[in-house]
Amino acid sequence: MIVLEFKLKGKPQQYRIVDEMIRTAQFVRNKALRYWIDNSRVKLSDLYKQCAIMAKEFEWAGKLNSMARQASAERAIFAIQRFFSNCKAKKPGKKGYPQFKKNTHSVEYKTSGWALSVDKRCLTFTDGFAAGTFRLLGSRDLHFYSPNAIKRVRVIRRADGYYAQFCINVERTEEIVPTGKAIGIDVGLNHFYTNSTGETVPNPRHLRKSEKALKRLQKRVSRKKKASSNRKKAINKLGRKHLKVSRQRKDFAIKTALCVVKSNDFVAYENLQVRNMVKNHKLAKSISDAGWSQFLQWLQYFGKVYGKTVVAVAPGYTSQDCSSCGNRVQKSLSVRTHICLCGAVLDRDHNAALNILTKGLRQAGISSNTVGHTGINAWKPTSTHWW
């Protein structure tokens, strides 16, 4: 599956209709969740039946396409299934009991309720809301894909406008160019990551750089009268700034992950539990600003697309163990240099990256006698696929 996103260009009254569509989808989702709470042993088919009942009971709910109502009910059942899976896995902390939504920003259609123009540059909604036709603004081209391959269309409201995402049932594959290199990656706050060759990538700190502007915009919001049009405008400006920061972070994560995967045949990284790490209130903002989870997710994605091996290893003692002799050298977070009795003197993150590479190769069943030394790039893969 791939997702292509376009900005929707329409008239103000059309956007107001889209807002009604989103509110209706939120209503259907919340009603489906209420039905699950009030009844036992509820299945997805039962929620589908409730969607049909809602369409008859509420005239405005019937305007929403039947498959869009089903997609909203699926959101409720997915939240329920996630809750039960967390309970079954005995996940520590809160299990994520399904909650009623108050500020939904999207509505999802399946294979009906919408239509593309002949040139595939316009999107028309054909359900009871009759939102009309929107122009699709974007650099991607839908001509490469048949209409039958488009399985879902999601309409999203953001601070800077409305967007349509097309979920297309195709497999993305890219030409594989073997490099014969294997690296381990240690993410951090001082540097975004340090690899096993000692190379570092600076931490961009997008949020930190925009904090001054964000505080100024937040002050403007707090000074405006509640429920006034000026307050709404100030909130929109603040939302646009936050949206820009999140886009900067995502763009950096994608480009960095793509560079890592295309430059190496084997990549090992720490399987960090970022959700637990942000509980440290002194480092939470910096960790969230770094966007490690997003970066590691894109590493896995590009690894599959390019046929490269990307391995997640346990993070235990990667910073404490010596990459040369294996002895454990205890040190606090403030100590940034690894010094061992065997004579090894390395940057703390470089030492950790070497240990991560060693763990990754061992986990993948690949032996390399050069791990931990300057010749680790001499490792050659026997095949371009390890899936």
The reply to whether 349 belongs to the active site is yes
| 66 CB-contact burial (10 Å; exposed 0-12 / middle 13-18 / buried 19+) | middle
Contact, 306 vs 174, CB < 8 A? yes
Annotated active-site residue in 108, 127, 265, 270: 270
Question: Tokens standing for 152?
Answer: 């879902």
Contact, 68 vs 110, CB < 8 A? yes
Phi-psi sector, 93: left (phi>0), alpha (psi -120 to 50), beta: left
Annotated active-site residue in 186, 265, 289, 321: 186
The reply to whether 38 belongs to the active site is no
Query: Strands 191-195 and 182-187: what pairing?
Result: antiparallel
The reply to whether 174 belongs to the active site is no
- CA–CA dist 200, 324 (Å, integer): 20
Catalytic positions, please? Answer: 186, 270, 349
